[in-house]
Amino acid sequence: MAFRRILSTSGYLYVSYACPWASRCLAFLKLKGLDHAIGVTVVKPIFERTKESDEHLGWVFPAADDEEPGAEPNPLNGARSVRELYEIASSNYAGKPTIPVLWDKQLKTVVNNESSEIIRMLNAEFNGIARNLGLDL
């Protein structure tokens, strides 16, 4: 199941510095000048168990600010892993929980998880608040 939704005015980006696709979304967000309006949280750079109850490994959030340099606890919805983000968005989600994630804070759902589409959205749908409006990558 792919996530392809329209973003309300409350976007948020989940990334990992270890993922090149997520990193390009973060780079574009900064270049376009949207970092003042769209929040970002960085997950840990290595896979860990996403739940105590099973062996699944994936992207997780640190429990504290000082647990993993560069990674941050999830400030929005209590999810401890990217897997849990997908489960919040869709309780019957059976796909692979990937990064990047463009999250809608208002609707509490994944808007998109495909980096090229996220970049297109950031380039076109946020020109009204972009600090570098002239940039068109």
Catalytic residues: 19
Residues 39/137, Cβ–Cβ less than 8 Å: no
C-alpha pair distances (Å), 79 with each of 8, 35, 42, 60, 136 = 21, 22, 13, 9, 34
